[in-house]
Chains A and B, each alone.
Chain A
Amino acid sequence: MSLRLPGSLADEIRRQGEAAYPAECCGALIGRVENGGKEVLRLAPAVNRRTDDPHRYLIAPDDLRRLEAEVRAAGLEIVGYYHSHPDHPAVPSAYDADHAWPWYSYVIVRIVAGRGADLATWVLDDDRPQMQSESLDVFSEV
């Protein structure tokens, strides 16, 4: 599958990563599945429940259940998640892969010295434990 992400939302992910720096930002990608691809329509920033360690993020299951209910009511779906890697490349860490779920797209944005840089999207292999790069289509809405 591929992930279509509007340019304005890619910028918004960078901004959230910059605001959270040197900690990590996190949130869900809300959208729909169409023609075998996922399209992101909006972001749902989440509260990072890991406050003990700036290099970790956690979206708690209660938060996720509430979000899931909201999203379904709007006829949409959570198609994936995003988080930032402060001063680390936009590739999944072993911890990311260990905690990933199949099917979801995991967008990672690299923040370099407080400035948002490149982003990439990843998806877990069906049989774990590796994540593979997924094709990312950042498009301009104008």
Chain B
Amino acid sequence: MSVTVAIPTPLRSFTGGRDAIDVSGATVGEVLDGLLATHTGLKRHLVQDDGRLRTFVNLYLNDTDIRQLESVSTRVSEGDVLTIVPSIAGGSPATETALPKLSHAEVLRYSRHLLLPEVGVEGQRKLKAARVLTIGAGGLGSPLSLYLAAAGVGTIGIVDFDVVDLTNLQRQIVHGTSTLGRPKLDSAKARLTDLNPNVNVVAHEGRLTSENALDIIADYDIVVDGTDNFPTRYLVNDACVLLGKPNVYGSIFRFEGQASLFYAKEGPCYRCLYSEPPPPGLVPSCAEGGVLGVLPGIIGSIQALETLKWVIGAGDSLVGRLVLFDALKLRFRELKLRKDPNCPICGEHPTIHELVDYQAFCGIGAEPDYRGVEISVEEFQDEREAKGDDLILVDVREPHEWEIAHIEGARLIPLSQLPDRLNELDGHAEIVTHCHHGARSLKALEILKGAGYGKVRSMAGGIDAWAERIEPGMARY
């Protein structure tokens, strides 16, 4: 069967200038194969790598598009004319970066999203295009990164420097027993990629600092702050304000949590709410104060929710609102937040134009120099053997911590009671204070020195270091 293939002008340089070529074959597909076998230059313009016709290449058998017939299986007759007709398509780059297509597998995976008119195919494509940076892969970072990955956020960056510790697993559900001791970034990446292989997880190893924050954050559309310390919280806030990015805030302590969306272009920032950090040591961390395991799940999920809503542009955001959650009462409250016209970074006359030293800003570098007043657990053990009861060990933790584990021979005087129980301590005695990790015992040291005790030292690393290095059978927490 001989068929005439009509060649359009743009392809004639591949047919020696000829506008028609006779090719034999029984079907459109065979005619096409015959044409490409003799005119190989046409191939890359007409078919894709997988051998199928490019989407903007149209074949007309006589006057009918072969898609309305039986496509390439359509049988041809002697004297038929097969015409190659271009579709002319193009467009500006805007939607290329904004809205990637969804594969069939993705459509199935996200079908419960696609059923929601507020999300739909467009919202899901926005999620796929979205680049979200989470600071920290800990208590808040765990639930929020899991939900962001499950929801199909295309790129999730994570900043973290820590390794997975047994004490993390009570709430940091992105990690597991099998990843103990491994970097949290590796552990989180493995879990998130397993949950949704379509997600590109970008690991930023190390701490977020004034030096790297702008470079890292600039690559993302929105930042979710899952940190547990004030210097990083102010750093994230300031970097987001300077770069014009939204910052999804969350914080947790014991049984209470808060969340908001700080976006200086539309509302207040973190500094409008808290212009100054609290004095160092006033607000204990989770490691010192404890936290109920489910709480970060609730606050982190609110952060994930606000992130998804912001990306797809649905509902009322938390901009200008602070949500307060009390887990024991199971009660949510809401505070209206106003933009502070005098805010030093997002107000009318900002005085901060670049990132500063946040450790110093939060008074952390200004803490007293404790060198020389600390004693290692090994040194303490040696001295106690030599001095016996003349060396008094004071445990300044809380009674419920004492119940978990305590060092034999120690006296329990919780830090909060210490000022009222100084009469229990001999003013001439040599005293060593200890707590869980060594922070509270340094505060106890200050109280004792202020009360005239001259020979006091603090056990570096606290009972945790003791359990690790001196008494391995002791329970750790």
A24 touches B11 (CB 8 A): no
Shortest A132–chain B CB gap in Å is 15
A100 to B10, CA, bound (A): 10
A102 to B83, CA, bound (A): 17
Those of B94-145 within 8 Å (CB) of chain A = 94-96
Those of A38-72 within 8 Å (CB) of chain B = 46, 50, 53, 55-62, 64-65
A64 touches which one: B12, B41, B87 (CB < 8 A)? B87
A100 touches B13 (CB 8 A): no
B91 on interface, CB distance cutoff 8 Å: yes
B95 touches which one: A56, A92, A103, A106 (CB < 8 A)? A56
A residues near B65, Cβ cutoff 8 Å: 61-62
A65 to B83, CA, bound (A): 10
A50 to B96, CA, bound (A): 15
A55 touches which one: B56, B58, B86, B94 (CB < 8 A)? B94
Those of B44-75 within 8 Å (CB) of chain A = 44-45, 56, 58, 60, 65
A residues near B386, Cβ cutoff 8 Å: none
Main secondary structure of the interface of A (DSSP, over half): mixed
B86 touches A64 (CB 8 A): yes
How extensive is the interface on chain B, given as a class? 20 to 34
A104 touches B93 (CB 8 A): no
A102 touches B91 (CB 8 A): no
Per-position 1/0 for A13-46, Cβ under 8 A of B? 0000000000010101000000000000000001
Cβ-closest chain B residue relative to A101: B10
A86 on interface, CB distance cutoff 8 Å: yes
Shortest A42–chain B CB gap in Å is 17
Shortest A109–chain B CB gap in Å is 11
Scoring B85, B92, B93 by chain A CB atoms within 10 A of each residue's CB, the highest score goes to B92
Contact A88:B93 (CB < 8 A) given known A65-B60, A101-B10, A103-B13:
yes
B93 touches which one: A28, A46, A60, A93 (CB < 8 A)? A93
Those of A124-142 within 8 Å (CB) of chain B = 126-128
A residues near B90, Cβ cutoff 8 Å: 26, 56-57, 83, 92-93, 95-96, 99-100, 106
Cβ-closest chain B residue relative to A96: B90
B94 touches which one: A61, A88, A128 (CB < 8 A)? A88
B residues near A104, Cβ cutoff 8 Å: 9-10
A39 to B90, CA, bound (A): 22
B91 touches A95 (CB 8 A): yes
Contact A126:B89 (CB < 8 A) given known A55-B94, A101-B10:
no
Cβ-closest chain A residue relative to B94: A55
Shortest B188–chain A CB gap in Å is 32
A interface residues, tally (CB under 8 Å): 40
B93 touches A103 (CB 8 A): no
Scoring A60, A62, A102 by chain B CB atoms within 10 A of each residue's CB, the highest score goes to A102
Shortest B52–chain A CB gap in Å is 15
Shortest A5–chain B CB gap in Å is 18
A residues near B89, Cβ cutoff 8 Å: 50, 56-59, 95, 99
Shortest B42–chain A CB gap in Å is 10
A93 touches which one: B9, B85, B96 (CB < 8 A)? B96
Shortest B268–chain A CB gap in Å is 30
B58 touches A77 (CB 8 A): no
Shortest B217–chain A CB gap in Å is 25
B88 on interface, CB distance cutoff 8 Å: yes
B87 touches which one: A24, A60, A86, A128 (CB < 8 A)? A60
Scoring B13, B41, B91 by chain A CB atoms within 10 A of each residue's CB, the highest score goes to B91
A residues near B8, Cβ cutoff 8 Å: 101
Shortest B85–chain A CB gap in Å is 4
A94 on interface, CB distance cutoff 8 Å: yes
Shortest A89–chain B CB gap in Å is 9
B92 touches A126 (CB 8 A): no
Contact A24:B91 (CB < 8 A) given known A64-B85, A102-B11, A103-B9:
yes
Contact A61:B92 (CB < 8 A) given known A102-B13, A126-B13:
no
A3 to B377, CA, bound (A): 83
B45 touches which one: A53, A57, A94, A128 (CB < 8 A)? A128
A residues near B96, Cβ cutoff 8 Å: 55, 93-95
A127 to B56, CA, bound (A): 17
A99 to B96, CA, bound (A): 13
Those of B30-51 within 8 Å (CB) of chain A = 41, 44-45
B residues near A84, Cβ cutoff 8 Å: 92
A94 touches which one: B14, B88, B93 (CB < 8 A)? B93
Given contacts A55-B95, A57-B90, 16 further A-B contacts (CB under 8 A): A26-B88, A55-B94, A55-B96, A56-B89, A58-B87, A58-B89, A59-B88, A87-B94, A88-B92, A88-B94, A93-B92, A95-B93, A99-B56, A101-B86, A103-B11, A126-B13
A–B Cβ pairs within 8 angstroms, 26 of them: A28-B88, A50-B89, A50-B91, A55-B93, A56-B90, A57-B89, A57-B91, A58-B87, A58-B89, A59-B89, A62-B65, A85-B92, A86-B94, A87-B92, A88-B92, A94-B93, A94-B96, A95-B91, A99-B87, A99-B88, A102-B10, A102-B14, A103-B12, A106-B90, A126-B13, A126-B41
Sorted nearest first, the 10 A-B pairs with minimum C-beta distance are A56-B91, A96-B90, A103-B10, A93-B93, A85-B92, A88-B92, A59-B88, A61-B58, A101-B10, A99-B89
